[in-house]
Chains A and B, each alone.
Chain A
């Protein structure tokens, strides 16, 4: 079946603009995760959803970052007033249980 998909694959924006990144998890997967991968920091956890609820938002770096999930499926990660340090690859993963997480191809965000 289809894997995790993310859009856009690449996003270039100007400093101060808002961006929205989308994740479509594997159908039926109740858990959804967002991670960020940057050169200096490696791969870092941002937020976890179980259904439409986010019991763990501990990795969101500032209040400019927010995420939502609707219908227990699609999730959107929003970054407001983007800064250059937000440039990174944003990865989404989903899982059916507490076990294997399946990752999407990522969105490469570049803030000029």
Chain B
């Protein structure tokens, strides 16, 4: 059974700093991995999707990497802004399975 862990559960950093969020998964037979952000009381917004054959994906100030063999992904946020404050979730899809298995999220607070 796939299990996804995100550490830390919460993170506070001053505005302007670069930061890294971590995601680990137990079953390396993944089809893809997706990073989402969730603003308080809102739905999920897809940020980046990495296919199992890829090592990283970039969008603006965000860069997500994937190391399947070690069961890890990181989300790098450059030059953080107060608007980046949200909960960040990673989710994996395994081969032969359409559902996403989610981590418990990291609540990020950017301090102005």
> Among residues 79 to 112 in chain A, which have CB atoms less than 8 Å away from a CB atom of chain B?
91, 93, 98-106
Return 30 A-B CB contacts under 8 Å, by A number.
Answer: A4-B43, A31-B98, A33-B98, A33-B99, A33-B100, A35-B100, A35-B102, A42-B105, A43-B89, A44-B102, A45-B99, A45-B101, A48-B99, A50-B98, A55-B98, A56-B98, A56-B99, A91-B43, A98-B32, A99-B32, A99-B51, A100-B49, A101-B46, A102-B46, A103-B36, A103-B43, A103-B46, A105-B42, A106-B42, A106-B43
Are B44 and A91 neighbours in the complex by a CB distance under 8 Å?
Answer: yes
Shortest Cβ-Cβ A-B pairs, 3 listed: A45-B99, A43-B102, A103-B44
Question: Which residue on chain A has the smallest CB distance to residue B102?
Answer: A43
Q: Is A59 an interface residue (CB 8 A)?
A: yes
Q: Count chain A CB atoms within 10 A of each CB in B49, B98, B100 and give the residue with the most.
A: B98
Is B34 an interface position by the 8 A CB rule?
yes
Chain A positions near chain B (C-beta within 8 angstroms)? 4, 31, 33, 35, 42-45, 48, 50, 55-56, 58-59, 91, 93, 98-106
Name the prevailing secondary structure of the A interface residues: strand
Residue of B whose beta carbon sits closest to that of A108: B41
Asked, given contacts A42-B105, A98-B93, whether A48 binds B43 with beta carbons under 8 Å apart, the answer is no
Residue of B nearest to A92 (CB): B43
- Give the A-binding residues of B (Cβ under 8 A): 31-32, 34, 36, 42-46, 49, 51, 89, 91, 93, 97-105
What B residues does A100 contact at CB under 8 A? Answer: 34, 46, 49
Among A50, A98, A101, contact of B31 (Cβ-Cβ < 8 Å): A98
